[in-house]
Structure 1
Amino acid sequence: MSPVKPRQSRKGNREKLMSAALELLAEDQSGLSGISLRRITKACDLSPPAFYSHFASMEELGLALVSDVGATLRALLKGVRDADTEASVVAASVDAAFSYIRGNESLFILIARERAGSSALIRAAIRNEVRQIVEEMASDFHERGLFERFSLPEKKAAVAAVVSLGLALIPDLLDLSRDSPAEGDALLSQFEYQVQFILS
């Protein structure tokens, strides 16, 4: 009788499937809807039944990727909000978020494409993650006495504008960072200046 595989193996297979999907997304311009389940399972040497033991559909895999991105970004941003000054909070937040984005290009190609993709569920999931980031940042700023010139609703509106601007920046930033890192850095510096202006 074959031994039962440990739980860690199942978790490892889930991560393999998600990583394979991201690698294929980086090559395929059609987005998640253009990648077949069989291509993903073949890329990580697993069977279609192995896929279905983790995800009910390709859409569910996309939702898992979006959820992971949101959770990681929220944790990174929360970790830098205890900086000494408002300017240093902005600088640290921009650096934390965009270092993660630049280091996970395939993941953010997915986010950029699926924001206008065919799956209403994935579009809604991205909006929900954005909403959570905005709510948490604005609430933390309020509790820590940052940007006191704004009321809490005004902070939420300002942070929402900043996050929306950052999302729009991602495709250009990834292109420039790949072809000319110095131009990518200049774009980020400009974005940080825009954020300071919005929150001033």
Structure 2
Amino acid sequence: MSAVKPKQSRKGNREKLMNAALELLAEDQSGLAGISLRRITKACGLSPPAFYGHFTSMEELGLALVNDVGSTLRALLKEVRDADTESAVVTASVQAAFAYIRGNEALFILIARERAGSSALIRGAIRNEVRQIVEEMASDFHERGLFERFSLPEKRAAVAAIVSLGLSLIPDLLDVSRESSAEGDAILAQFEYQVQFILS
């Protein structure tokens, strides 16, 4: 009697599909709407029916990618908010967020493009992730007694301004960093100075 081969992990195939989409997004300037399901499945050696075992549509795949970005960023930023001083919290937060961004370029190409993309659901998902980041950071600052010169609503407004500035910076940062990591570092240093100024 022959042994039954174990089924391949659903999570493994799901990640293959997501990674293939990201690789194609890095090459294709048209965004998620310009990439077909067949291109993604071909790129990772799976069949189109295998795609539907994990996602109902390309839009749902995009939503999964956005959710992964948001949850990872929130976790990274939470880890560094126990720094000793306000200035250290700012520095650690900027470094943690942008180390993740620079190390996951394709993901943030997706975010930059889909913020103004054709899918209202994905645009809304990105806005929701941004709102959660802003709310968690502002609430943590308030609970830890950081930036006490601001009320909680003022902290929310300040963090929202910082996150918006950071998002707008991503395309330039990624472009410049490909040519020169030192120039990318200079952009980040300027951004950190702007954040310190907003929270001063």
Q: Which residue of 1 aligns with 2:38?
A: 38
Question: Can you give the 5+ residue segments of structure 2 that lack an aligned partner in the other structure?
Answer: none
176-185 or 74-83, which moves further after superposition? 176-185
1:122 is matched with which residue? 122
2:4 — aligned with what?
3
Q: Give 1:2 deviation, angstroms.
A: 8.1
By how many angstroms is 1:198 displaced?
A: 0.3
Change (3 A) 1:128 1:28: same
Deviation at 1:88, TM superposition (A): 0.1
Aligned twin of 2:14: 14
| Corresponding position: 1:152 with 2:152 | yes
* Moved >2 Å (runs of 4+): 1-6
What is aligned with 1:186? 186
Within 5 A, what are the aligned runs for 1:1-200?
Answer: 3=4, 5-6=6-7, 9-200=9-200
Secondary structure of the equivalent of 2:9? Answer: helix
Give the secondary-structure state (helix, strand or coil) at the position aligned to 2:55.
coil
Q: CA deviation at 1:4?
A: 6.5
Question: What SS is found at the alignment partner of 1:76?
Answer: helix
Residue by residue, what CA displacement relative to the aligned partner does 1:150-172 show, whole Å, maximum 9, x if unpaired?
00000000000000000000000
Identity of aligned residues (%): 85
How far apart are the structure 2 equivalents of 1:34 and 1:3?
40
User: Distance between the aligned counterparts of 1:157 and 1:101, measured in 2?
Assistant: 23
Find the aligned partners of 2:80 and 2:98 in 1 and give their Cα distance: 13
Q: Distance in 2 between matches of 1:136 and 1:199?
A: 16
Secondary structure at the aligned position of 2:63 is classed as helix
Cα displacement (A) at 1:197? 0.3
1:44 is displaced (CA, Å) by 0.3
Letter of the structure 2 residue corresponding to residue 73 of structure 1: L
RMSD of aligned Cα (Å) = 1.1
Distance 1:5 1:74 in 2: 35
- Structure 2 counterpart SS, 1:155: helix
Shift of 1:5: 3.9
In 1, Cα distance between equivalents of 2:10 and 2:185: 39
Distance change >3 Å, CA 56–CA 5, structure 1 → 2: farther
> Aligned partners of 2:125 and 2:107: how far apart in 1?
15
Number of residue equivalences: 199
Superimposed CA distance per residue, residues 139-197 of structure 1 (whole angstroms, 9 cap, x where no aligned partner): 00000000000000000000000000000000000001111111100000000000000
Q: Deviations over 1:41-94 (max 9, x none)?
A: 000000000000000000000000000000000000000000000000000000
Structure 1 unaligned residues grouped into runs of 5+? none
Secondary structure of the 2:56 match is: coil
Distance 2:161 2:11 in 1: 37
Per the normalisation by structure 2, the TM-score is 0.97
